């Protein structure tokens, strides 16, 4: 085993801190921090999934919140029918339905929209992913049975084999393990032959085509994997918040996910986790400023975002490792 890089150490330290600190706070009577960490870890999974296509694939998806929302509704809708009847086929709390449904629906949505989006490039791609996410947003708004604009309360959480999601520690354990799996999966994919093609297509699509790679098919596959992974994060988020609404799919949420990936360091393993951490901490600190500054927290946040784009290239992971990324 070669000596670990500086970035490898950061990854290790961050993950150990995330594994240990929140449960300790919880056991010490500070449940709030576990809640915060649960949200952080779930958002980190979504950001990790986005990083696969944005960071490694160079595909700037501005619609990833739609996958989070669809994943959450794939939990909320069966739970709703389980309580209120109707749609017997899916009216259950079983994780054997919820999780495959969340992953399956988002994978399908990614496939169908990806078929169209990936025919386009650059700014078209950004806008089209955004538009499709907005389409899902309006779709959910239009369905009154599931609360429309007002959202949907998830009365009972998903029932899983090894985890009782009503217990905060077990909820957190599942989310954290899921993050580890997500990180491992993305790392494996990125380093595989498939991943080399994906990254090659980011660097030089025309060259990849003349080498004999059908870049469209590879990108579409990555897009579907990313969407499904993000849908899974959505299923966790629905279970965590127990309240879901179209607002989860608002394009501001997609923008925040992008912010996490870029701030943390696109195309690095740990970058999205760092980004999600900074985002959650910023949101928490800025919004708890004394009145009236707290309610205007998005103003400094927005300024920060502009400054980050203008001055920090390569994200935090790039800063720490002291190496030029681009």
Partner 1 sequence: MDTTLLVIQVLNGLQLGLLLFLVASGLTLVFGILDFVNLAHGSLYMLGAFVCASLTYALGNFLLAVVVALPVVGVIGYLTERVVARSLYARDHLDQVLATFGLILVFDTSAHVIWGPEGIAVPLPDWLNGQVALGSGLEVPTFRLLIIAAGLAAAGGLFWLVNYTRLGMLIRAGASNRTMVSALGIDIQMLFSLVFALGAMLAGLAGMLIAPITEANIGMGNSIIITAFVVIIVGGIGSIKGAFIAALLIGLIDTLGRAFLDDLFGLFMSSAAAENSAPAVSAMLIYLIMALVLALRPQGLFPPKVR
Partner 2 sequence: MTAVLKVEGLNKSFGGIKATDNLNLTVEAGELHAVIGPNGAGKTTMISQLCGTQIPDSGRVLFKGRDITRLAPHRRAHLGITRSYQITSLIMEMSVLDNVALALQAREGHSFRFLRPARSIAHLRDRGRELLARVGLADKADQATVALSHGEHRRMEIAIALASEAELMLLDEPMAGLGTQESLEMVALLKGIKGKHSILLIEHDMDAVFALADRISVLVYGHIIATGSPDEIRGNEAVQHAYLGEE
Can residue 202 be called a binding residue for partner 2 (CB under 8 A)?
Answer: yes
Rounded CA Rg of the chain: 19
**Residue 242 phi, psi (nearest 5):** 55, 10
Q: 196 touches which of partner 1, partner 2, none (CB within 5 to 8 A by kind)?
A: partner 2
C-alpha triplet 245, 248, 250: angle, nearest 5°: 115
204 binds, among partner 2, partner 1, none (CB under 5 to 8 A by kind): partner 2
Q: What is the 3-state secondary structure (H, E, C) of 46-105?
A: HHHHHHHHHHHCCCCCCCHHHHHHHHHHHHHHHHHHHHHCCCHHHCCCEHHHHHHHHHHH
Choice between 9 and 124, CB closer to partner 1: 124
Query: How far apart are alpha carbons 171 and 162 in whole angstroms?
Result: 11
CB of 314 to partner 2, least distance (A): 12
Number of Cβ within 10 Å of residue 304's Cβ equals 15
Count, residues in the chain: 326
**Region of 117-125, 153-161, 213-221, 306-314 interacting with partner 2 (CB under 8 A):** 213-221
Q: Is 214 in the site for partner 2 (CB under 8 A)?
A: yes
Q: What are phi and psi of 147, to 5 degrees?
A: 90, -10
Q: How far apart are CA 78 and CA 161, in angstroms?
A: 18
Contact of residue 197 among partner 1, partner 2, none (CB under 5-8 Å per partner type): partner 2
Based on CB atoms, which residue is closest to partner 2, 139 or 185? Answer: 185
Task: Give the interface with partner 1 as residue ranges (CB under 8 A).
Answer: 54, 60, 62, 113, 115-116, 119-120, 122-124, 126-128, 130-132, 134-135, 138-139, 141-144, 250-252, 255, 258-259, 262, 295-296, 298-299, 301-306, 308-310
Are 300 and 286 in contact, with CB atoms under 8 Å apart? yes
In the complex, what is the shortest distance from the CB of residue 326 to partner 2, in angstroms, rounded to a whole number?
A: 8
In this complex, which beta carbon is closest to partner 1, that of residue 139 or of residue 185?
Answer: 139
CB of 305 to partner 1, least distance (A): 3
> Which residues of the chain form contacts with partner 2 (CB under 8 A)?
188-189, 191-197, 199-200, 202-204, 206-215, 218, 221
């Amino acid at each position: 085993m070669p000596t670990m890089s500086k970035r490898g150490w950061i990854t290790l330290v961050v993950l150990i801190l995330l594994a240990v600190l929140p449960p300790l706070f919880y056991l010490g009577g500070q449940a709030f921090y576990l809640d915060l960490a649960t949200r952080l870890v779930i958002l980190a999974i979504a950001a990790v999934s986005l990083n696969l296509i944005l960071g490694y694939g160079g595909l700037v998806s501005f619609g990833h919140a739609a996958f989070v929302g669809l994943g959450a509704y794939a939990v909320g809708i069966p739970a709703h029918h389980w309580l209120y009847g109707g749609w017997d086929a899916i009216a259950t709390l079983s994780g054997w339905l919820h999780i495959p449904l969340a992953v399956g629906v988002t994978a399908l949505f990614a496939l169908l929209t990806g078929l169209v989006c990936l025919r386009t490039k650059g700014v078209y791609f950004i806008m089209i992913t955004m538009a499709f996410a907005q389409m899902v947003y309006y779709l959910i708004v239009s369905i009154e049975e599931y609360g429309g604009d007002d959202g949907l309360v998830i009365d009972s959480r998903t029932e899983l084999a090894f985890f009782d999601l009503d217990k905060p520690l077990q909820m957190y354990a599942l989310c954290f393990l899921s993050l580890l799996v997500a990180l491992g999966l993305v790392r494996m994919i990125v380093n595989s032959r498939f991943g080399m093609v994906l990254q090659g297509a980011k660097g030089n699509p025309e060259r990849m085509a003349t080498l004999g790679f059908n870049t469209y098919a590879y990108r579409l596959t990555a897009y579907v994997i990313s969407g499904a992974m993000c849908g899974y994060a959505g299923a966790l988020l629905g279970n965590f918040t127990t309240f879901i609404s179209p607002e989860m799919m608002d394009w501001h949420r997609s923008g925040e996910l992008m912010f996490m990936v870029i701030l943390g360091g696109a195309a690095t393993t740990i970058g999205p986790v760092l980004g999600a951490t900074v985002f959650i901490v910023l949101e928490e600190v800025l919004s708890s400023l004394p009145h009236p500054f707290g309610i205007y927290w998005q103003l400094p946040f927005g300024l920060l975002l502009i400054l980050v784009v203008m001055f920090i290239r390569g994200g935090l992971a790039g800063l720490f490792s002291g190496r030029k990324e681009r």
